Amino acid sequence: MTNIRDTIKKFYSELIMFAILFLFFFQALSDLLETIYGFALLNQEPDENILGLVFLVTPVVLLFFRKRLSDMILVILGELMILSRLLDPLLKRQGILVTSGLAVGCFLVFFPIYLTRMKNEEKRTSTTLGLSLAIAVTLSILLRSLNSSIDISMYSWYQVIGWIFGIIAGIMLFGMKFKSEGQKETQEEIKESSKGSGFGKILALTSGLVSVFIIIWFTFASPTVISRWTEGNYIGITLGILGVLSLFVIGQMLKPDLLSKLRTWMLWVWNGVFAMSLFLTVLVHQLSFPDESALYPIVAPQTAWYHHIPLAIMILLSPIIYVDFMLLTREIIKIKPSTRKMGGSFALAGSLYIIVMIFVQILPNIWGYLEPISTGFRDKYWLAFFLPGLVLTLSILLVKKSSFDLGKLYTNKRRNISVIVLLSTIFLGTLVGTLVTKPYPNYTPDGELVIMTFNIQQGRNVSGDRNFDGQIALIKQVDPDILGLIECDPTRISGGNLDVVRYFAEKLNMYSYYGPNTVTNTYGCAILSKFPISNAMSFFMFSDEEQIGSAQAEVTLDSIIYNVFVNHPSGDATSTTILQQEEMLTRVNGLSNVIFMGDFNFRKDSVQYSLTTAVLNDSWYLKWPSGLDDNSFNSSDRIDHIFVSSGTTVLDARYILTEQSDHPAYWIRISL
């Protein structure tokens, strides 16, 4: 038994343990919100599942403890967090809500307790935590890049990766306990430590810490979200963030005294410029939509090279958030706060702050559904990035100059080499992952063209479970040449920061155009094609309930140019949707070989349908003039349509009633 304890103590690494715990925290936090939002989407309104946010307020329990909690409680909390995260991807529906919530809740209690127990070790602990957080982000980037934005350690049999991480962290937790045995503080020391500083300063410092978590969750843990904001190169952005972060970690390991040379004003400037660049990276792609219907449709402006300047600055300066994390944790540990003070600060600056920021990011997307609060957030997606950047910058003003001295802590060459090898492996793995998962279409037209439209409900089935692979399997059965995806916008925290279009394009080996970027807060329309897509653009219609954006592009086959549109009109009033359809049709007028498809939210007996068929033909009735197919299926109640130009020969047309989504898939086959 003693030999086992000694072995565990020998191989214990605070760096490795926290790298895994931070990674698991971000994974669980992402799953928790995605699950809550998925059920709300399914029911088209907030429901009882929103109570899952209660898991975020678990630090409140620390208010009931006067004394420092034992190491065994830390071990139990850590092991429960790990177990909950490992069970998470094995479950469905509310099961995911419970396991992901438990993992998040345990961490939000574990972390503040850990900070209170690290007396007189602020220099080593803070540096280690900052580097662990940075390594956790590199791991998150790697695991998502290997599976086109879906974390591969939570997918299929690759979950064994997560279990290996979990076993390592679980053993490390016992190593932490064994290391700390015999280092108990007296009650007098605990009482004295609790007098270090007022609650206000602890609260402000904790707000800075949580701002780091928020910025990473919203932005850097899944770089595909940045490429969807900016329409920038996904591979370049991913490798840029990972490369800068890896160089920072390696530099800190080899030259830890460099940061000690920073002057206070340098740190403030670094923070300020980073916060501004983060804010501007989103803002320059944000559109302000007018309330006057006569000003629509609005064509999204093309992204110019200078729009990427804030993006480049943000990536180059991004290591500041890990520097801030080191400094803030150091300052908190030096204060020696009591368990109650840490519980109170994490309950307010952690729980409440995170919940507020969740709504600040989500409300711009649903500004017409939760009036009167939500309407004020229209076109303010940038606010979710401006606020944590501002809070983080202000919190650093409270860090004393003495905390800047990080010292030469990592002089162990073997450890440094191990970290360098790890980061190099992560970088190469990410490079390979981004290249391997990139589609490489190479198809030849065969005289016919299969076109398909499918509202994928953000990749969820009728039960509300994530269902990308089930939907892809259905699409592969049809094997479309051109595919229109609707409600494909989960590249934000409400959708787990998953890039549905990228994932579908990779699995189907098709070119893709995402359509309106996520900053404009539409529900997403995308065009996928086996053949090259050109002259792609997005345009927007007037709305009184949610922002309506559509995708338009050209697809060329055998020298024939097809003008493809994917649409999803919706509004609170019928007059609004009529107006939207009129606006959409202005984009079609004068074009030939039009393919006009999507979830139109109107039926055959509507004014909108009459307006559309005055310009284009309903593909269903071109094949089935009676309205009934050879299986006596009647599409009159369907709202998913494909309209085509006059003269188009429709060889077949079918609706697929399926539980893979809350909409049927509809496909047609036409002659070239």
What the chain holds in terms of domains, given with CATH numbers, is: 2-287+303-436 (1.20.1250), 448-671 (3.60.10.10)
pLDDT band at 445 (very low <50, low <70, confident <90, very high): confident
pLDDT tens for 199-254 read: 889 999 999 999 999 999 999 999 999 999 998 999 999 999 999 999 998 888 77
pLDDT value, residue 544:
85
Long-range contacts of 475-479 (CB under 8 A, 24+ apart): 475/504, 475/508, 475/665, 476/508, 478/450, 478/452, 478/656, 478/665, 478/667, 479/450
pLDDT band at 94 (very low <50, low <70, confident <90, very high): confident
Backbone angles phi, psi at 189, to 5 degrees: -65, -35
CA distance linking residue 31 with residue 29, whole number of Å: 5
Above 70 in pLDDT, residue 422?
yes
- Report yes or no: 331 and 204 within 8 Å, Cβ to Cβ: no
Above 50 in pLDDT, residue 436?
yes
Q: Which of 530, 545, 490 is nearest to 514 (CA)?
A: 490
Strand-pair category, 511-513 with 482-486: unpaired
Element (H, E) at 604: none
pLDDT value, residue 188:
41
What six digits make up the tokens of 552?
A: 């338009």
Coil vs helix vs strand at 245: helix
pLDDT value, residue 275:
97
Residues facing 596 on adjacent strands: 565, 643
Mean pLDDT in residue range 332-348: 88
- Report yes or no: 512 and 502 within 8 Å, Cβ to Cβ: yes
Strand-pair category, 594-599 with 560-567: parallel
What six digits make up the tokens of 419?
A: 């970290």
Mean pLDDT in residue range 621-646: 91
Place of tokens 């926290």: 18
**Virtual CA dihedral for 85, 91, 97, 102, nearest 10 degrees?**
-30
Place of tokens 């009934």: 628
Strand order in the sheet with 548-557: 298-299, 533-541, 548-557, 560-567, 594-599, 640-644, 617-618
Report in angstroms the alpha-carbon separations of 234 from 194, 374, 432, 521: 48, 31, 13, 20
In single-letter form, the type of residue at position 238 comes to: T
CA distance linking residue 348 with residue 44, whole number of Å: 30
Above 60 in pLDDT, residue 186?
no
CA distance linking residue 583 with residue 207, whole number of Å: 46
pLDDT value, residue 609:
94
pLDDT value, residue 406:
57
Cis peptide before 297 (omega within 30 of 0): yes
In single-letter form, the type of residue at position 629 comes to: D
In single-letter form, the type of residue at position 411 comes to: T
Above 90 in pLDDT, residue 278?
yes
Place of tokens 């094997």: 479
Q: Which of 248-257, 344-353, 381-390 has the highest mean pLDDT?
A: 381-390
pLDDT value, residue 20:
96
Above 50 in pLDDT, residue 23?
yes
Residue 573 burial class via C-beta count within 10 angstroms: exposed 0-12, middle 13-18, buried 19 and up:
exposed
pLDDT band at 193 (very low <50, low <70, confident <90, very high): very low
CA distance linking residue 488 with residue 465, whole number of Å: 15
Strand-pair category, 482-486 with 525-529: antiparallel
- Report yes or no: 23 and 165 within 8 Å, Cβ to Cβ: yes
Mean pLDDT in residue range 644-657: 94
DSSP type of residue 91? -
CA distance linking residue 500 with residue 398, whole number of Å: 41
pLDDT value, residue 274:
97
Find the range with the poorest average confidence among 49-53, 133-137, 476-480, 635-639.
Answer: 49-53
What is the residue-averaged pLDDT of the chain?
88
pTM, two decimals, is: 0.93
pLDDT band at 2 (very low <50, low <70, confident <90, very high): low
Mean pLDDT in residue range 660-666: 93
Residues 6+ apart with CB under 8 A from 607: 574, 578
Residues 6+ apart with CB under 8 A from 319: 134, 244, 245, 248
Above 50 in pLDDT, residue 268?
yes
End-to-end CA distance of the chain: 76
pLDDT value, residue 79:
95
- Looking at 305-432, which runs of residues are DSSP E strands? none
What six digits make up the tokens of 36?
A: 């809550």
Alpha-carbon Rg for the chain, nearest whole angstrom, is 27
CA distance linking residue 534 with residue 511, whole number of Å: 10
Coil vs helix vs strand at 538: strand
Above 60 in pLDDT, residue 195?
no
CA distance linking residue 670 with residue 619, whole number of Å: 9
pLDDT value, residue 253:
79
Instruction: Tally Cβ neighbours within 10 Å of residue 525.
Output: 30
- Report yes or no: 451 and 668 within 8 Å, Cβ to Cβ: yes
Residues of the chain above pLDDT 90, percent? 61
Backbone angles phi, psi at 628, to 5 degrees: -115, 135
Residues 6+ apart with CB under 8 A from 257: 406, 407, 408
**Virtual CA dihedral for 38, 43, 45, 46, nearest 10 degrees?**
-60
DSSP type of residue 634? B
